[in-house]
């Protein structure tokens, strides 16, 4: 009964009601074998316990004040046989180069669309004018180039770029379009932190895919919201050698829908040093950090006490979550050769490895101590608030799609209008059947409270994306500064791209 009820709810969470299929009652469903794996050299099925690893791809970097990005279709060999059709920027086979920007610089972006489909590029987390933001309005037709310019105002931290065309975001993200942006500033640069890119400063985008028997990505927006095979920087069964010292990871959850409850295989303490919008005041020690799609954290992990030659795994501890946690839904009865059951996945409700780490010798100039203070943030508080609004997540019942305040995304409808320089309290209410990951463009905000419990210390910094569990309300406060327009809107939406594309998105104007 329980399983059946859960699988029915899982169906509803997809936003489309179909005939519910009773899931397997077997409790061994979580210990899957590599039955779908036809390739002993390039993938290990569910990643679990594999002895065959592939070296982690580290994206190349671009620096300066003028950046050329070209998105094109390509292929990548994930499995034996046919290569998988993918998208990548600048010739990458999946994902794109890492852009390194300096706070204060004025930058010129030249984004060329070499697809046969229209796209956009959104600079996720950036405080820039709406017309430069790369949301659904700034379309880039095939064979054309979009040339936004803006000044980099954000704090040092880890950001990213990705397509944001309404009804196409799910598809283009699934194909691999996206890339990291690292912003540098004087405060971060003055700290004793690991910052040798690819050596002790590792960008890590985590996203999973399901494969059809043809080896192509399965892209049914109703069915394929959770991949069966984890990719780390587009690498399946990834491993990396890291020096015996403090190492920094720039973590990005770029899953379609799955939350990641991250930790290390030996449950060691690690330290969160940034949220979406920059440094925390001080490192926050944790053994787990929960990341929803769109969220970033930078962490420090100390490998200084590990023996050279030792190994450990970065893992998602996703088993045993309650329903509503994205990725709790059950596993498919049969592994995917073709599309599996609604919201099933080989990785759902399991603990699975993301990156195998081999400890190597320390580098010269290794960082061997944890910094104390990082910066001094001045966050907005309830005392600063000049206007309040409440936004309800609606729909989703009886198989409907999700919406904000019963309005599905509509290009012609402005959901919210905000006065420039207002400090606003937004209460997002999720009296719903499923958790979401809410992202606001334009500004960085502070999470003030959660109805379901305390705001975790590791999410106490500047945020642009946050988890809202089912049945919970979350209060955030932001100041809407610098950029007003009575015509160009910013977006707010669920960052689960299936929910977003099916209507859980709205737009706000910041007006003079």
Q: Is 499 an interacting residue with respect to Cu ion (CB under 5 A)? A: yes
Region from 49-57, 156-164, 199-207, 429-437 binding Cu ion, contact rule CB under 5 A: 429-437
How many of the chain's residues bind Cu ion (CB under 5 A)?
4
Region from 187-195, 238-246, 347-355, 436-444 binding Cu ion, contact rule CB under 5 A: 436-444
What part of residues 326-355 is at the interface with Cu ion (CB under 5 A)?
A: none
Task: Compute the least distance from the CB of residue 342 to Cu ion, in Å.
Answer: 16
Task: Compute the least distance from the CB of residue 504 to Cu ion, in Å.
Answer: 5
Query: Which one, 357 or 496, has the nearer CB to Cu ion?
Result: 496
**What does the buried/exposed string (b/e) look like for 373-403 if buried means 16 or more CB atoms within 10 Å of the residue's CB?**
ebbebeebeeeebeeeeebbbbbbeeebbbb
Both tokens of 304, joined, read: 């200084």
Distances (CA, A) of 159 to 46, 227, 278, 346, 417: 28, 23, 9, 29, 26
Task: Compute the least distance from the CB of residue 349 to Cu ion, in Å.
Answer: 19
Query: Which one, 92 or 276, has the nearer CB to Cu ion?
Result: 276
Radius of gyration of the chain from Cα atoms? 21
Query: Which one, 170 or 352, has the nearer CB to Cu ion?
Result: 170
8 A C-beta contact, residue 450 and residue 472:
yes
Query: Which one, 291 or 496, has the nearer CB to Cu ion?
Result: 496
Q: Is 296 an interacting residue with respect to Cu ion (CB under 5 A)? A: no
Look at residue 281 and give its three-state secondary structure.
strand
Task: Compute the least distance from the CB of residue 41 to Cu ion, in Å.
Answer: 37
Q: Any idea what DSSP says for residue 502? A: T
Nearest C-alpha neighbor of 226 from the set 348, 143, 120: 348
Rounded distance between C-alpha atoms, residue 96 and residue 500, angstroms: 22
Look at residue 484 and give its three-state secondary structure.
coil
Query: Which one, 122 or 499, has the nearer CB to Cu ion?
Result: 499
Region from 17-25, 167-175, 247-255, 430-438 binding Cu ion, contact rule CB under 5 A: 430-438
According to DSSP, the β-strands at 145-146 and 61-63 are unpaired
Query: Which one, 78 or 402, has the nearer CB to Cu ion?
Result: 402
Task: Compute the least distance from the CB of residue 7 to Cu ion, in Å.
Answer: 19
8 A C-beta contact, residue 60 and residue 99:
no
Query: Which one, 236 or 494, has the nearer CB to Cu ion?
Result: 494
Both tokens of 364, joined, read: 């010269």
Task: Compute the least distance from the CB of residue 132 to Cu ion, in Å.
Answer: 26
Task: Compute the least distance from the CB of residue 439 to Cu ion, in Å.
Answer: 10
- Site string (456-495) toward Cu ion, x via CB under 5 A: --------------------------------------x-
Both tokens of 460, joined, read: 């106490």
Nearest C-alpha neighbor of 54 from the set 99, 94, 87, 86: 94
Task: Compute the least distance from the CB of residue 432 to Cu ion, in Å.
Answer: 9
Query: Which one, 225 or 375, has the nearer CB to Cu ion?
Result: 225
Task: Compute the least distance from the CB of residue 180 to Cu ion, in Å.
Answer: 23
Both tokens of 59, joined, read: 């994206």
Query: Which one, 278 or 435, has the nearer CB to Cu ion?
Result: 435
Rounded distance between C-alpha atoms, residue 133 and residue 283, angstroms: 31
Q: Which residues contact 484 (CB under 8 A, 6 or more apart)?
A: 420, 510, 511, 512
Query: Which one, 300 or 504, has the nearer CB to Cu ion?
Result: 504
Query: Which one, 44 or 324, has the nearer CB to Cu ion?
Result: 324
Region from 44-52, 121-129, 227-235, 428-436 binding Cu ion, contact rule CB under 5 A: 428-436
Both tokens of 44, joined, read: 């290990």
Region from 65-73, 245-253, 434-442, 481-489 binding Cu ion, contact rule CB under 5 A: 434-442
Task: Compute the least distance from the CB of residue 436 to Cu ion, in Å.
Answer: 3
Q: Is 505 an interacting residue with respect to Cu ion (CB under 5 A)? A: no
Q: Which residues contact 39 (CB under 8 A, 6 or more apart)?
A: 79, 80, 81
Residues facing 289 on adjacent strands: 262
- Helices and strands (H, E) in the chain, number of each type: 4, 34
Task: Compute the least distance from the CB of residue 495 to Cu ion, in Å.
Answer: 7
Query: Which one, 107 or 496, has the nearer CB to Cu ion?
Result: 496
Q: Is 496 an interacting residue with respect to Cu ion (CB under 5 A)? A: yes
Element (H, E) at 173: helix 169-175
Q: Tell me which of 164, 436, 470, 493 binds Cu ion, using CB under 5 A.
A: 436
Task: Compute the least distance from the CB of residue 130 to Cu ion, in Å.
Answer: 23
Handedness of CA 311, 252, 302, 351 (dihedral sign): negative
Both tokens of 441, joined, read: 């463009």
Q: Is 510 an interacting residue with respect to Cu ion (CB under 5 A)? A: no
Give the interface with Cu ion as residue ranges (CB under 5 A).
Answer: 436, 494, 496, 499
């Amino acid at each position: 009964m329980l399983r059946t009820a859960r699988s029915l709810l899982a169906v509803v969470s997809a936003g489309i009601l179909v005939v519910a299929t009773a899931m397997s009652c077997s409790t061994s469903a979580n210990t899957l074998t590599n039955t779908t794996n036809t390739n002993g050299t390039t993938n290990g099925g569910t990643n679990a316990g594999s002895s065959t690893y592939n070296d982690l791809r580290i994206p190349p970097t671009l620096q300066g004040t003028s950046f050329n990005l070209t998105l094109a279709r390509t292929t990548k060999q994930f499995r034996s046989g046919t290569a998988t059709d993918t998208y990548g920027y600048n010739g990458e086979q999946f994902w794109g180069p890492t852009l390194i920007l300096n706070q204060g610089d004025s930058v010129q972006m030249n984004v060329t669309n070499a697809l046969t489909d229209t796209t956009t590029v959104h600079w996720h987390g950036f405080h820039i004018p709406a017309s430069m933001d790369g949301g659904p309005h700034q379309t880039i037709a095939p064979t054309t180039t979009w040339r936004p310019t803006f000044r980099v105002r954000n704090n040092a931290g880890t950001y990213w770029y990705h397509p944001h065309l309404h009804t196409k975001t799910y598809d283009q993200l699934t194909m691999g379009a996206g890339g990291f942006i690292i912003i540098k500033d004087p405060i971060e640069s003055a700290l004793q932190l690991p910052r040798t890119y690819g050596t002790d400063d590792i960008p890590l985008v985590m996203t999973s895919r399901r494969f059809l028997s043809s080896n192509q990505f399965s892209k049914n927006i109703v069915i394929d919201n959770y991949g069966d095979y984890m990719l780390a920087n587009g690498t399946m069964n990834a491993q990396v050698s890291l020096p015996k010292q403090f190492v920094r990871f720039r973590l990005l959850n770029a899953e379609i829908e799955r939350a990641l409850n991250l930790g290390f295989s030996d449950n060691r303490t690690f330290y969160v040093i940034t949220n979406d919008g920059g440094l925390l005041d001080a490192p926050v020690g944790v053994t787990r950090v929960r990341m929803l799609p769109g969220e970033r954290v930078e962490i420090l992990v100390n490998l200084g006490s590990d023996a050279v030659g030792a190994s450990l795994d970065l893992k998602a501890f996703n088993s045993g979550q309650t329903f509503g946690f994205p990725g709790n839904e059950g596993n498919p009865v049969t592994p995917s050769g073709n599309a599996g059951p609604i919201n099933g996945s080989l990785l759902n409700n399991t603990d699975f490895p993301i990156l195998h780490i081999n400890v190597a010798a320390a580098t010269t100039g290794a960082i061997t101590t944890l910094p104390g203070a990082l910066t001094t943030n001045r966050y907005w508080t309830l005392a600063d608030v000049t206007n309040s609004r409440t936004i309800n997540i609606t729909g989703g019942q009886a198989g409907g799609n999700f919406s904000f305040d019963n309005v599905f995304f509509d290009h012609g409808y402005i959901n919210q209008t905000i006065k420039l320089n207002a400090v606003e309290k937004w209460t997002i209410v999720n009296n719903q059947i499923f958790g979401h990951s809410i992202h606001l463009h334009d500004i960085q905000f502070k999470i003030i409270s959660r109805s379901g419990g305390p705001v975790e210390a590791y999410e106490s910094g500047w945020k642009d994306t946050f988890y809202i569990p089912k049945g919970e309300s979350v209060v955030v406060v932001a100041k809407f500064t610098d950029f007003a327009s009575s015509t160009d809107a910013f977006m707010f939406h669920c960052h689960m791209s299936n929910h977003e594309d099916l209507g859980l998105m709205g737009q706000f104007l910041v007006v003079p």
